[in-house]
Structure 1
Amino acid sequence: MSNDNSQAAVAGSMDGAEAWKGQKASGLRQAINLKSVSTGVVAALFGCSGPALIVIRAAEAGQLSSGQTVAWLFAIYFLGGLVSIGMALRYRQPICGAYSIPGAAILIAALGGLQFSEAVGAFIMSGAIVFILGVTGVIAKLMRWLPMPIVMAMIAGALIRFGIGAAEAIGADPIMAGAAALVFFLVARFVKAVPPVLAAGVVGFAVAMAMGLVKPAEVNIDFVMPVFTAPSFTLDAFFAISVPLAALVIGAENAQATGVLMAEGYKPPVNAMTITSGIGGMIAGALGGHNANIAGPMTAICSSPQAGDDPALRYGSTLVNGVLFCLFGLFAGGAVPFILALPKSLIVVVAGLAMIGVLLAAFQQAFNKSLGYQIGAFVALVVAMSKLSLLGISAPFWALVAGVVVSTLLKEGEPTR
């Protein structure tokens, strides 16, 4: 299969030492502006709401104490925030850190049959796997080889759920979510000085307050000091947790983050992103959290046009997101009920609206006829949109595999003349 065009499209994207192409790294003051702050807040609210509840449910399945649950939340949010801050300052790109949401979901079942000390050992081993793959450069080489349209189709399929979720949120709460969506488009059309995502969030929150929809959530977590768990290493935990978790971090989170950054014209430092995810995974594991890595959804929100017209300044949204994640991690025991008090529909609709620019860019690049990967890209799209899970690995990874296999069988890749 010839993929000269797609390779050329991503050539040079793996060094990562320079900032966004054609742009000089801008000062921090310029990067922290109304658009970047509002988008960073949206990304943080998204990451600290529903995903936190998944982690709490996994902790309940493992019968963890409140102190162990708080330690888990501290590890993934505080370290995830540090990853965001560090990557943004180092590379001047909106590379966000968090944790694998699907990884937390698979632990709901996995923790039922393992001691938590075994799970902690598995978390550390998972981080080590990712770290080794980053140091050896395997992931960077793979990203060079993968055709750009298939990567973009995977991104579109993986992130389209945000757009669908926004539509469903409007159906569930037509007044609140509908008002937020309407204000978003009106402001985008008529009020250029105000970030549409900020206006949508403010109006949606005001409507939710007026309708009495903001209610503190009841969750089984206390405001206590974190309790850390000593790891134990077993083969069962390695195969049940370490391997699938590492695959999710690389195939779902890092791949998504890399793809959305490419879609927005950045040159992501793939090796550094993978190594950072590995180190974050090992440190978070030692603290009792399942991983702290580069995050796909938060990177997509913070790299979108909603974070600013100048791509060189959008890293400011990642800094805001990182600071808020750190604060949430430090005060998780007391913060969780208040964050979960926000209506889910409001967070979902605002996050979906923020994704519009990224989704458009991904679709446009995925089905660019001149690159010649349309069928493979379509297969990658539908697989990524599905709930396919094989060998504990979720759909985005298999979307890349399926797209490449189909394109190879059809000998796609030659430009249409």
Structure 2
Amino acid sequence: MTRPVMAGLLTAIVGFTSSFAVVLAGLRAVGATPAEAASGLLALCALQGVGILWLTRRHRLPLTLAWSTPGAAVLASSGGVDGGWHAAVGAFLVVGGLVLLTALWPALGRLIASIPAPIAQAMLAGVLLSLCLAPVRGVVDHPLVVGPAVVVWLALLRVAPRWAVPAAFGTALVTIGVDIARTGGLDGPLVPHLAWTTPSFTWGAVIGIAVPLYVVTMASQNVPGVAVMASYGFDVPWRETMLVTGVGTAVGAAAGGHAINLAAITTALSASPEAHPDPRRRWVAAHTAGWAYLVLAVVSAALTSFVAAAPAGVAEAVAGLGLLATLGSSLSGALSSMDGREAAVVTFLVAASGVTLLGVGAAFWALAAGLAVVAVLRRRAGLRMAPETGPSS
């Protein structure tokens, strides 16, 4: 029993430490105050923990949920939106509704699955680029704070890759603590507290935040999560999982949580033979992760205040380290095929540009531009084939 319990603790610790700074950066970018960002992190931890406990107890499967790290990166690249934080919360609520609709209306899931994978991956890569450049800027601007984290990350990347990002975060927390001790104490809350926000709905937030957030959450988290589970011989109860994550996203929206989904990368930590040789016992690992997330929810406020006290740009720099692997896989997926590569490149460039048009952020326009290029290229290919495939005269 000890083995799956340890695997579950590892799943939660790695999942939390490798990306919580990304979540905070994303929430702050769309207008959350430090207290509202802390509330969002608390809601995400608590709701995904409860969701894991429900699904694992009910199905005896190593089903692990997570917050949408790619979605948080979309928020970080979107910046302020028309309507501010209230409109961003409204967009989170829309995402929860779309996930619920996916569970109840399979056609919507098929529509998302019909988006070419290179386009979705290129959009995500473009969104991630600015955050992944942050470590470079951070080393230059704050070498004594960011530099040690980069060195630790690089050293562990060689000998213990799984722990490279958590260790880098731990190192950053130590250097931030030294800086805080030198310049002054913490100003933020240390006790977890939910800050409720009344959602509002604006065209720019729904199109510029909700749509890209939903697409990347489905394409980069839920669909790969099902594939990872299948690789270990487990069938995900798709409809119920989408219902649980949709309800969790909708409930957590007013508290600042952006999106909850099926875990992809960390799923392997609890679903693989490393968790337990007997597949029937691996659900214990995921169940333990659920309890661990509830504990992490309690300390989330203190961590948020700690990170908020760091010099400007430090949190983003450390978050960028945690996204480098995701950027690499996204670029690989975007450019894996020569057919239609131009569409992927256009999508990447528009997303990376960070432009805002008609109050809508770059992520949506990147998706629209990529799909437009795909349509043109397919039409061109069809016209080329027409003389050969059409009826002879």
CA distance in structure 2 between the partners assigned to 1:321 and 1:276 by the alignment: 17
* Residues 121-136 of structure 1 mapped to structure 2, 5 A cutoff: 127-136=96-105
Residue in 2 aligned with 1:23? none
CA deviations on 1:3-42 (whole Å, 9 max, x unpaired) are xxxxxxxxxxxxxxxxxxxxxxxx73363375x4652242
> What whole-Å deviation, never above 9, does each CA across 1:314-371 have from its counterpart, x for those lacking one?
999988986666446556666642342355655434433333333222222221245x
* TM-score in terms of structure 2 length: 0.67
Question: What is aligned with 1:401?
Answer: 368
Question: RMSD between aligned alpha carbons?
Answer: 5.1
Aligned to 1:187: 156
Alignment partner of 1:110 is 2:83: yes
Q: Relative to structure 1, is the Cα distance of residues 198 and 317 closer, same or farther in structure 2, using a 3 angstrom cutoff?
A: farther
Structure 1 residue 402: Cα displacement = 1.9
Q: Take 2:129 and 2:227, find their aligned partners in 1: how far apart are those partners?
A: 15
Amino acid in the other structure paired with 2:122: A
Partner of 2:169: 201
Which residue pairs with 1:78 in the alignment? 46
Matched, 1:156 2:122: no
* 1:145-196 deviation per Cα after TM superposition (whole angstroms, max 9, x unaligned): 222222222232222333212222212222332222223223333x349832
Unaligned runs of 5+ in 1: 1-26, 61-65
Q: State the alpha-carbon separation in 1 of the partners of residues 312 and 238 from structure 2.
A: 33
Q: Verify: 1:257 aligned to 2:221, yes or no.
A: yes
> Which residue of structure 2 aligns with residue 28 of structure 1?
4
Q: Which of residues 21, 26, 31 in structure 2 aligns to 1:46?
A: 21
Displacement of 1:308 in angstroms is: 10
Change (3 A) 1:404 1:316: farther
Q: How does 1:242-321 map to 2 (within 5 A)?
A: 246-258=210-222, 274-285=242-253, 288-289=254-255, 291=257, 293-294=259-260, 302=266
Q: 8 Å contact 1:384–1:395 — kept in the other structure?
A: yes
Change (3 A) 1:185 1:300: farther
**CA deviations over 1:261-310 (Å, ceiling 9, x no partner):** 5998978887666544431243235xx335552369xx677479xx7996
Deviations 1:78-122 (A, max 9, x none): 32444466678876466412696566977875269xxx7x99888
Q: Which 5+ residue runs of structure 2 have no aligned equivalent?
A: 276-281, 382-393
SS, match of residue 399 in structure 1: helix
- Which structure has greater helix proportion? 2
Letter of the 2:211 partner, please give it.
Answer: A
8 A Cα contact 2:249 2:257, kept in partner? yes
CA–CA separation in structure 1 for the residues paired with 2:192 and 2:317: 33
Whether the 8 Å CA contact 2:348–2:366 is kept in 1: the answer is: yes
Q: Distance in 2 between matches of 1:348 and 1:77?
A: 20
> How far apart, CA to CA, are the structure 1 residues paired with 2:130 and 2:273?
24
Which of 42, 67, 71 aligns to 1:97? It is 67
**Paired residue for 2:325?**
357
SS of the residue corresponding to residue 368 of structure 1 reads coil
- The structural deviation recorded for 1:141 is 0.5
Give the equivalent residue in structure 1 for 2:136: 167
Q: For 2:377 and 2:185, how far apart are their aligned partners in 1?
A: 54
Q: Equivalent of 1:140, from 109, 128, 140? A: 109
**What amino acid sits opposite 1:405 in the alignment?**
A
Q: SS at 1:388's partner residue? A: coil
Post-superposition offset of 1:76: 4.7
Q: Alignment identity in percent?
A: 20
- Counterpart selection for 2:187 from 205, 218, 238: 218
CA contact (8 A) 1:43 1:321 kept: no
Please give the alpha-carbon distance, in whole angstroms, between the structure 1 residues aligned to 2:205 and 2:89. 10
